[in-house]
Structure 1
Amino acid sequence: MEQSKLAQIDSYSLLELPTDQLLNYFGAGRASPGSGSAAALLAILSCKMIMTVCDISQKKDECRVARKEFGLIKIRVSEVIEPRLKTLFDADAKDFEEVIKLRKLRDNAADPKEKSKYSRQASNMLETATDYTFEIAEKSLKLMEYGVTMFEDGWHAIRGDSGVSISAALSAVMSCIFIINLNLKTLKKRKYSKLNIAKVIELQKKLQQMQDKAFSCVTTISSESIDAVQLKLKMSKF
């Protein structure tokens, strides 16, 4: 997409764009939308896959025991988590673009006072963007939890969808951790960085715990696949 066309897309959510245009927007060589919005997008994909598994599983008799839980998960995801992620997607894109503008003003300023002012404003805005990223990560961890539940209790034939919901959310959390650590390094002279370094370490611990559960799901489906293939081979010998 041409830069002139990209510049026109400011008055509405980027998520309203057709998929191909949205992806081109990410690959247009601009600072915004950037990694924070990309992490939110991964989490939104996880939301959609969870809702799909909930809808299908609620209609299956083998899942009737968990129907109420599926309904609650879908409501939580569709009415709370997904809308907030969409807001964070747009907010990160908008605010990080402002960070870049302020940095350019800082670099071009001749007056030391002006340079200091723009630097301070850019750092303030970066702190705000980092707060968004923390929130995206926390919501993505919850999505991982829901994804594991859907994998274990949802309809067995669509565990591929559940797996995608887990892996997309996992990728979102990991992306957020990369972003947060980089931002804290940039903000190393600020109180904000000192206050939040323990928070990102705790986030990494939570990810490790959920990652173990995610790999347990992979192991389960892998064992089933191996057993099924081996059984087929044994039967073919007779």
Structure 2
Amino acid sequence: MIPAYNEAESIPLVIKDIPSIVTEVIVCSNNSNDDTVINARDAGATVVEEATPGYGNACLKGMEYVAALTSPTDIIVFLDGDYSDYPEQLTQLVVPIVEDNLDFVLGARVKKWREKGSMTIPQIFGNGLATTLMRFFFKSTFTDLGPFRAIKYDQLLELEMQDRTYGWTVEMQLKVLKKGMRYGEVPMKYRNRIGVSKVSGTMKGAIFAGVKILIWIFKYGFKK
């Protein structure tokens, strides 16, 4: 599942690199006004469209589509449409779920495999602060809030995801912790995205994302 807003140039590259073990690629176009939808369909993806802005809104629209499928769904993988992740590493991401019966696996953007400049200073600081607070409140071992992640479909439904904007990723991880699900991380490569980030690429986006992340952490940190 790939939430995307104006990723016309990168989306075909992302879809092309997704391993053949994936049964369906779903691109959730979040009010894109370029050729994202056309290019995604031409590359072989299913496209669902969500007009209301927000990363979480796009993901929730994709989940609506999956819920209506008649064939069973075992694992959902989320990744971004900007080609900053390496889709070919998806196989490594799902191995702990398939072989070790984990519920959730995060693709951690480790420093030694990150391309220079691929994460901004606010992103690095925000990830560090958020994961430190998660260790404090929940004894978490998460080191990142990366978008590349895999989760068993039944467990995803159990999380009852709500956030409609930038808090989607941290909400998922916090609920995994609160519900005592089995989780882990797999080190991932990370490169400079194609185009300008809608979050870290603007001061407003970076601040709003940071505030949403902290709200979710403190909400669950003090929740009984």
Q: Same fold (TM over 0.5)?
A: no
Q: Which has the higher strand share?
A: 2
Which has the higher Rg, Structure 1 or Structure 2?
A: 1
Write 1 or 2 for the structure with the bigger share of helix. Answer: 1
- Interval of TM-score (by shorter of Structure 1 and Structure 2): under 0.3
TM-score, structure 1 as length reference: 0.21
